[in-house]
Amino acid sequence: DSQYSLSALSVGQAAIIAIAVTAMMWQAAYRVASGQMTIGDIVLVNAFMIQLYIPLNFLGVLYREIRQALTDIERMFGLMHTEREIADAPDARALPTGPASVRFEHVSFAYDAKRPILFDVDFDIPAGSTVAVVGHSGSGKSTLARLLYRFYDVQDGAIRINGHDLR
């Protein structure tokens, strides 16, 4: 799993840096105690470690981001090759571009036959209009958009764009 390997990489990188910083500071403290270095020298070593740690940490973060982006791209291309569940009719015409009127004509839809979401919905949105759909949770607002984008097909009625059936 990509997420697991990226997490392991992150933990490994943090452990290596922590061990290296600890070893360097331990060595510097030992040398100060033995008189081979001054307190100013240990401050200098600490500053060098910070200057080294920040770019190394950034490179690790950058690598993980690139790996995650490549994983996401692979998934996206996989989706592009997935067969659509809702197919256009063989004689379907391309919808015209530009401002469009939208008409729901007696649209009924249910995800589950026992629980209809939309029943005989009928409305018209003229081209260039802005409309807000308001309602309680589960009343079918998102379903209207999903039907308009053809994630699902209507079970009864029709959705028309500029008078052309969406199917």
Residues 42 and 107 reside in one and the same domain: no
Residues 6 and 75 reside in one and the same domain: yes
Residues 74 and 10 reside in one and the same domain: yes
- For residue 76, being part of any structural domain is answered with yes
CATH number at residue 141: 3.40.50.300
Split into its structural domains, the chain has a count of: 2
- For residue 87, being part of any structural domain is answered with no
- For residue 97, being part of any structural domain is answered with no
Q: Over the stretch 16-64, which tens digit does the pLDDT of each residue have? A: 888 988 898 899 899 999 999 998 988 888 888 888 888 888 888 888 8
- For residue 90, being part of any structural domain is answered with no
Residues 75 and 17 reside in one and the same domain: yes
Q: How far apart are CA 6 and CA 121, in angstroms?
A: 48
Residues 118 and 54 reside in one and the same domain: no
Q: Please state the pTM of the whole predicted model.
A: 0.51
Residues 76 and 8 reside in one and the same domain: yes
Per the structure, the complete domain to which residue 28 belongs is given by 2-80
Structure confidence at residue 132 (pLDDT): 92
Structure confidence at residue 121 (pLDDT): 92
* Structure-derived torsion over alpha carbons of residues 158, 162, 164, 167, reported in degrees to the nearest 10: -60
- For residue 49, being part of any structural domain is answered with yes
- For residue 91, being part of any structural domain is answered with no
Structure confidence at residue 2 (pLDDT): 66
Residues 73 and 114 reside in one and the same domain: no
Structure confidence at residue 105 (pLDDT): 95
- For residue 41, being part of any structural domain is answered with yes
Q: Over the stretch 57-115, which tens digit does the pLDDT of each residue have? A: 888 888 888 988 988 899 899 888 877 777 777 777 777 778 889 999 999 999 988 88
Domain end call among 48, 80, 112: 80
- For residue 94, being part of any structural domain is answered with no
Residues 12 and 52 reside in one and the same domain: yes
Structure confidence at residue 1 (pLDDT): 63
Residues with Cβ < 8 Å from 138, sequence gap 6 or more? 117
Residues 18 and 69 reside in one and the same domain: yes
Q: How far apart are CA 161 and CA 92, in angstroms?
A: 13
